[in-house]
Amino acid sequence: MQQNDSLRNVAIIAHVDHGKTTLVDALFKQSGVFRADQRVDDRVMDKMDLERERGITIAAKNCAVRWKGVKINIIDTPGHADFGGEVERSLSMASGAILLVDSSEGPLPQTRFVLRKTLEAGLPVVVVINKIDRKDARPQEVLNEIYDLFIDLGASEEQLEFPVLYAIGRAGVAMNNIDDPQENLSPLFETILTRLPGPSYDPEQPFQMLVADLDYSDYLGRLAVGRIMHGKVFAKESLACIGEDGAARPLRATRLQVYDGLQLSEVEEAQPGDIVVLAGIEDVTIGDTICTRESPRALPRIRVDEPTVAMRFGINTSPLAGREGKIVQSRAIQDRLVKESLRNVAIRVEETADRDAFLVKGRGEFQMAILIETMRREGFELSVGRPEVILKKDANGKTLEPIEHLYVDCDETFMGVVTDKLAQRKGRMLNCTNNGTGRVRLEFSVPSRGLIGYRDEFLTDTKGTGIMNSYLEGYEEWRGDFPTRFSGSIVADRPGVGVAYALFNLEPRGTLFVEPGDPVYEGMIVGEHNRDNDIDVNATKEKKLTNLRAAGKDENVILTPVKKMTLEHALHFVREDELVEVTPQSIRLRKAELSSLRRYQIAGKAAKNKS
């Protein structure tokens, strides 16, 4: 095997919000990608609106910089475990990785997750301890925690010999030693060139490329993105594609492109190890091998972790369907979900007995919420059910469920309520560390289903100061049932428009979700009941007029301001018999069965069967 020393393929991995995308911005600026007088937005790699709004990376992205004649392909990966499929396919293109760790927070659950994937892929790692300018920075302790994490994850002797740099990504500086002068990112560039190898390849092998990503261009059609494992490729060359079935299909790429800064540039040929984009290839999926027609041989496919969460996606069947969205047909929804599964290896789509509903499986509720939010912005109307965990059966027929290892960082005063709430959800405390700073770090083993909907409650309980993170630990025997919600629903019993008089009189019953003038229909959830049972109410009732006038008789009602439901809160709130109606303009909650009479019949039948 030989190495292409004119190239480096580097993945930047880290926990959420440890500064990956900000560091990439600084690498761009100091490598000459931008002109000196060019105005550049922050977090230039986060192109999606949702990424910019939420301050997170959702999709892995590629770019390239040059340093001392060497081309460095940089892959900016997500830090959230729900987007683990993005990390796994990104690592298939890399020949080394930069692990970024916050100098105060240290390694967190997603640090463990992305590092485990990197070590399993056998990649060498450069550790960068970032944000050393924080007042609460503790770089030496964090470095010891990183060594412990590497040992815990079974790193090899070579992987444990990692170089360490200290950085302030926002200021664009990196140092080999913490006391070195803070100048620029040259130490990081030099470490990439000297400590991370160029991509290896066999000069005797013909062209082979593993498809790690798909994109789409209105002008060029489908784009296949991947790293050339062996050989060279030329523009307009006759090639073959080997799919999951092992059959080789002939194809011809209409255009060959490579990354140059943030842009793609067209080339006539590409070198072994380079990350290329082939245009005009229609029938291709992530994990396929593109090779020569003369000697078609498949590479090992990209394998990702099994999905742990499933959700039902269906058409909007409410009386308000079609008023706010342009795309309402089940066929269009199915096509969009299938397109998402082609681009995202962690998502799977299955048909159900109901031809207007589809089962979507993925890594977590947050990943699902991002998909739904993206679809509603594209003009879709749909109804979705509560996220449910995917259970397994062992050899003895026992039910197994996914278990999360949960880390909680909160003030000492909130420790009791957090422990109590997680115990109700069948969580077990594993560890408790008190650093003497007034904050405690708790570790729990808790069922994945226990965390669905808990994040909002946790933030309320800790007054917004708590931090919680988790990663999938494995599967254990079913830990038993527990209530997902301790309150019932206030359900409208007739169609119309919300009236202030009616809503004012409903306020003592619970928390309302609708305002005067909002449309309501039979079966729509207009509030959360104080008690654990559902009640049907008339939200459209107007005040009866009389011919008597008296002081104080006609005063205006003053309603408590309504907290508008966010998509994530709605997904957490609904129970098994409820749905979230999602349109480009609104998020409404409803019963799966809209007719109150039919719901009473179903409930009566269920009670009869129990007895």
Residues comprising the binding site?
Answer: 17-22, 130-133
Residue stretches of the annotated binding site for GTP: 17-22, 130-133
* Phi, psi angles (nearest 5°) of residue 282: -85, -55
Are 82 and 89 in contact, with CB atoms under 8 Å apart? no
Are 118 and 84 in contact, with CB atoms under 8 Å apart? no
Give the closest residue to 372 by CA, choosing from 209, 576, 119, 571: 571
Residues making up the chain, counted from first to last: 611
Are 532 and 489 in contact, with CB atoms under 8 Å apart? no
Please give the Cα distance from 277 to 225 (Å, whole number). Answer: 5
Residue carrying the six token digits 């289903």: 449
Tokens of 532: 């654990």
Beta strands in 59-197 (DSSP E): 61-67, 70-76, 96-102, 125-130, 164-168, 173-175
Please report how the helices 365-377 and 330-343 are oriented relative to each other, as an axis angle in degrees rounded to 10.
120
Give the closest residue to 163 by CA, choosing from 99, 236, 81: 99
Task: Give the pairing of strands 510-512 and 587-591.
Answer: unpaired
Please give the Cα distance from 604 to 597 (Å, whole number). Answer: 11
Please report how the helices 454-461 and 415-424 are oriented relative to each other, as an axis angle in degrees rounded to 10.
160
Please give the Cα distance from 451 to 231 (Å, whole number). Answer: 48
Q: What is residue 513's DSSP assignment?
A: -
Beta bridge partners of 71: 7, 66
**H helix and E strand count, the chain:** 15, 37
End-to-end CA distance of the chain: 71
Within 8 A by CB and 6+ apart from 605, the residues are: none
Q: Which long-range contacts (CB under 8 A, 24 or more apart) does 63-67 make?
A: 63/24, 63/28, 63/259, 63/261, 63/262, 64/258, 64/259, 64/260, 64/261, 64/275, 65/27, 65/28, 65/31, 65/32, 65/33, 65/261, 66/31, 66/32, 67/31, 67/189, 67/192, 67/193
Beta bridge partners of 175: 166
